[in-house]
């Protein structure tokens, strides 16, 4: 692999001059600049990123932490982030936390180590305080997460509203007994608390009581959805609709329901969350809450780059629109 010294030697100039050309610094004569450029091309020179990072330059790399890439929601989010980054000359380092606290910390250390210029977090595993302590090493942007009183920019959706309009839709369709699946624990604090509140408010406004046996917590996967449906089938007094936390859970629920001869939405209505490509592939097509993944990715990159270029950049919160997509499952 040719180095900057090779380029210097071959063009009869100093490393310093070559470096200036590489980094588009001023005070290089057009003549020498062209010579350097030509030589670089000739021997196929590429700057060594490790050396650059070590020297303490900008890395033009942004880390993106996601729980798992096999979750299509995050795959699309990462993809949109990467494309936005690429168009601005940045690389993206994809980091899967696999919901592991230690891995998350290890990725945050990339900031300390100057492996990345900034980090976009799409999920949070550790205490916020621990995470926030890393902002002294570089910008952190929250994408699709929301933390009260944090000092970092957040690009997020109004999850409260998402659940609210979803449940409202079910109520309008005449449902009164609505099962509810959350990824968290239906607690006041923690994951999905905003959605939980949207759910409760919507019910309350229609004078419907929350029935604890219709709340399913810690559900994430297709398999979870199947289990939920199995439980519902055992009930004497079944709910007439199910609101879920993701299209995948909804898919599992539908699969199991159809397997057992139930008709959707006549026997039971099912509602997803995310609006993944899957939603349109299900039969009947899934009514769901659309999250504007592409916009979130683009905005996150925009913000983090602004922050990089101007550390005084005003930290604020961006809320993107979330909307109901009515299809055939409700």
Q: Which does 75 bind (CB under 5 to 8 A by kind): DNA, a copy of itself, none?
A: a copy of itself
Q: Which does 31 bind (CB under 5 to 8 A by kind): a copy of itself, DNA, none?
A: DNA
Tell me if 56 contacts DNA by CB under 7 A.
yes
Could you tell me the two tokens for 183? Answer: 């990824």
Could you tell me the two tokens for 225? Answer: 């959805």
Using the minimum distance from each CB to a copy of itself, give the nearer residue, 97 or 159. Answer: 97
Using the minimum distance from each CB to DNA, give the nearer residue, 117 or 125. Answer: 117
Using the minimum distance from each CB to DNA, give the nearer residue, 15 or 177. Answer: 15
Using the minimum distance from each CB to a copy of itself, give the nearer residue, 140 or 222. Answer: 222
Q: What is the distance between the alpha carbons of residues 294 and 225, in angstroms, rounded to a whole number?
A: 26
Using the minimum distance from each CB to DNA, give the nearer residue, 5 or 206. Answer: 5
Give the β-pairing of 178-181 and 154-157. Answer: unpaired
Per CB under 7 A, the segment of 51-59, 91-99, 140-148, 190-198 that binds DNA is 51-59
Report the site for DNA in 163-202 (rule: CB under 7 A): none
Q: Which does 277 bind (CB under 5 to 8 A by kind): a copy of itself, DNA, none?
A: a copy of itself
Interacting residue with DNA among 38, 42, 43, 54 (CB under 7 A): 54
Q: Which residues bind a copy of itself (CB under 8 A)?
A: 1, 46, 48-51, 53-54, 68-70, 72, 75-76, 78-79, 82, 93-94, 96, 109, 112-115, 137, 222, 248, 251-252, 254-255, 258, 277-278, 280-283, 285
Q: Which does 79 bind (CB under 5 to 8 A by kind): DNA, a copy of itself, none?
A: a copy of itself
Using the minimum distance from each CB to a copy of itself, give the nearer residue, 115 or 240. Answer: 115
Residue 292 φ/ψ, nearest 5 degrees: -80, 75
46-57: burial string, b at 16+ Cβ within 10 Å, e else: eeeeeebbeeee
> Can you spell out the DSSP letters for 284-322?
SPPBEEEP-HHHHHHHHHHHHHHHHH-TTPPP-EEEE--
Q: What is the distance between the alpha carbons of residues 123 and 320, in angstroms, rounded to a whole number?
A: 17
Using the minimum distance from each CB to DNA, give the nearer residue, 13 or 324. Answer: 13
Instruction: Provide, rounded to whole angstroms, the least separation between the CB of residue 44 and DNA.
Output: 12
Q: Which does 19 bind (CB under 5 to 8 A by kind): DNA, a copy of itself, none?
A: DNA
User: Sign of torsion, CA 284 287 288 292?
Assistant: positive
Using the minimum distance from each CB to DNA, give the nearer residue, 118 or 239. Answer: 118
Report the site for DNA in 3-32 (rule: CB under 7 A): 3-5, 12-17, 19-20, 22-23, 25-29, 31-32
Q: Which helix (H) or strand (E) holds 23?
A: none
Q: What is the distance between the alpha carbons of residues 10 and 94, in angstroms, rounded to a whole number?
A: 38
DSSP state of 114: T
> Can you spell out the DSSP letters for 163-213?
HHHHHHHHHHTT--SEEEE-SS-S-SSSTTHHHHHHHHHHHHHTTPPP-GG
- How many CB atoms are located within 10 Å of the residue 189 CB? 8
Residues found near DNA in the complex (CB under 7 A): 1, 3-5, 12-17, 19-20, 22-23, 25-29, 31-32, 45-48, 51-52, 54-57
């Amino acid at each position: 692999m040719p180095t900057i010294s090779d380029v210097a030697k071959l063009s009869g100039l100093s490393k310093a001059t070559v470096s200036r050309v590489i980094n588009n610094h001023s005070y290089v004569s057009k003549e020498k600049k062209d010579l350097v450029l030509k030589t670089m091309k000739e021997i196929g020179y590429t700057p060594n990123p490790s050396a650059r990072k070590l020297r303490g330059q900008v890395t033009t790399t942004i880390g993106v932490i996601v729980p798992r890439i096999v979750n299509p929601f995050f795959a699309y989010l990462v993809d949109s982030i990467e494309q936005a980054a690429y168009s601005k000359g940045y690389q993206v380092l994809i980091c899967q936390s696999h919901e592991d606290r230690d891995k998350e910390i290890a990725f945050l250390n990339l900031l300390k180590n100057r492996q990345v210029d900034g980090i976009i977090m799409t999920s949070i595993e550790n205490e916020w305080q621990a995470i926030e302590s890393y902002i002294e090493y570089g910008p952190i942007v929250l994408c699709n997460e929301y933390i009260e009183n944090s000092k970092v920019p957040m690009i997020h959706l109004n999850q409260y509203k998402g659940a609210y309009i979803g449940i409202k839709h079910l109520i309008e369709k005449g449902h009164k007994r609505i099962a509810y699946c959350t990824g968290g624990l239906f607690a006041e604090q923690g994951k999905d608390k905003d959605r939980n509140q949207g759910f409760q408010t919507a019910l309350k406004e229609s004078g419907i009581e929350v029935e604890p046996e219709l709340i399913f917590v810690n559900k994430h996967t297709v398999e979870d959805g199947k289990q939920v449906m199995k439980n519902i089938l055992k009930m004497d007094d079944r709910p007439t609709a199910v609101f879920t936390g993701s299209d995948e859970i909804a898919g599992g629920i539908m699969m199991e329901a159809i397997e057992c001869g139930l008709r959707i939405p006549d026997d039971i209505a099912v509602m997803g969350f995310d609006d993944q490509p899957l939603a349109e592939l299900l039969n009947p097509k899934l009514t769901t809450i659309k999250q504007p993944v592409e916009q979130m990715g683009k905005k996150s990159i925009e913000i983090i780059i602004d922050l990089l270029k101007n550390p005084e950049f005003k930290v604020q919160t961006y809320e993107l629109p979330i909307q109901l997509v009515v299809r055939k499952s409700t």
